[in-house]
């Protein structure tokens, strides 16, 4: 499996409260985590950092011989423990009370991915010419869309589009979405914060990810597009490719030869 990731503060925020981690060899799996922190006084930065570290620590119990159900429970428990720890930390320090973070965690094998999710950071699966959002946003605008009060197009520009209805660390207990997804060789998994998904259309993300370039180029290009669209939030992109080796990137020389 191939991986690449990057996080960028964007063009407006002074502090990057996003965090990401990718572990290529995690007891027979690949582990990836994205967290988008929230809260004043650098609290969001602390919450997202703690979430990443705590989830990683708890995920050390994963073993290749585990059943799917056991892996799903391990992901759920890791996020639940991180939630409790962040909540307890914030509760004891008044300036950090109310801090929290989104989290999306992927535990990937060759055939399937287990995803744990809270908030509005997202996971997408790109397969061939298609892109599919695997997670459902825990956000105010998503609730308004589901209830029919606004359209998806209106949600993209709604003034409260950044308000989440569920986050890690804001309550002692939190509901965690666990998703299981099959994937095949050639598929690519995207994890991202809303600094990307809120600015770049799914169709354009798909086109960039499906391009014949290596993963670092795709990560850089996705972030560049978010910056070109204003970069109003921190931007984090993680790509996991279910391939044995990097596809040969297109070079200027190759493009000239193909076009000759």
DSSP secondary structure of 65-83: T--HHHHHHHHHHHHHHHH
pLDDT in tens, 163-214: 789 999 999 999 999 999 999 999 999 999 999 999 999 999 999 999 999 9
Give the count of beta carbons closer than 10 Å to the beta carbon of residue 70: 13
Return the pLDDT at 158. 62
Q: Write down the pTM of the prediction.
A: 0.90
- DSSP readout, 158-187? -TTTT-BS--BTSSSS---EEEEEE--TT-
CA atoms 7, 11, 17, 18: torsion sign = negative
**Rounded mean pLDDT, 95-99:** 89
> Is residue 146's pLDDT more than 80?
no
Return the pLDDT at 68. 96
Q: Which CATH number applies to 2-259?
A: 3.60.40.10
**Rounded mean pLDDT, 9-29:** 94
Distance CA 143, CA 120 (A): 12
115 has which bridge partners? 106, 179
Contact 8, 16 (CB under 8 A): yes
Q: List alpha helices for 92-214, DSSP H.
A: 140-146, 152-157, 194-197, 202-210
Of 131, 132, 137, which Cα lies nearest the Cα of 117?
137
The CA-to-CA distance between both ends of the chain, in Å, stands at 34
Return the pLDDT at 251. 44
* Strands 188-192 and 235-241, sheet pairing: antiparallel
Return the pLDDT at 132. 97
Distance CA 38, CA 42 (A): 8
Structural domain boundaries of the chain? Answer: 2-259
Where does the chain show beta strands of DSSP type E?
2-8, 18-26, 29-38, 100-101, 103-108, 112-118, 122-127, 130-133, 177-182, 188-192, 235-241
């Amino acid at each position: 499996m191939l991986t690449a990731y990057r996080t960028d503060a964007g063009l407006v925020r002074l502090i990057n409260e996003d965090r990401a981690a990718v572990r290529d060899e995690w007891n027979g799996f690949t582990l990836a985590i994205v967290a988008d922190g929230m809260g004043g006084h650098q609290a969001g930065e602390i919450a997202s950092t703690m979430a990443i570290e705590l989830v990683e620590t708890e995920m050390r119990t994963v073993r290749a011989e585990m059943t799917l159900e056991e892996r799903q429970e391990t992901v759920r428990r890791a996020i639940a423990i991180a939630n409790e720890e962040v909540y307890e930390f914030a509760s004891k320090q008044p300036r950090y009370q109310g801090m929290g973070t989104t989290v999306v965690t992927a535990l990937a094998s060759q055939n399937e991915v287990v995803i744990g999710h809270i908030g509005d950071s997202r996971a997408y699966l790109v397969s061939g010419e298609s892109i599919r959002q695997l997670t459902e946003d825990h956000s105010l605008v998503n609730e308004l869309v589901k209830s029919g009060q606004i359209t998806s197009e209106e949600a993209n520009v709604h003034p409260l589009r950044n308000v989440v209805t569920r986050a890690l660390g804001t309550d002692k207990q939190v509901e965690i979405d666990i998703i299981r997804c099959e994937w095949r060789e050639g598929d690519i998994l995207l994890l991202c914060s809303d600094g990307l998904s809120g600015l770049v259309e799914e169709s354009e993300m798909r086109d960039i990810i499906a391009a014949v370039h290596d993963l670092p180029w795709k990560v850089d290009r996705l972030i560049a597009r978010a910056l070109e669209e204003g970069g109003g939030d921190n931007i984090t992109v993680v790509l996991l490719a279910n391939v044995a080796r990097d596809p040969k990137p297109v070079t200027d020389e190759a493009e000239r030869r193909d076009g000759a």
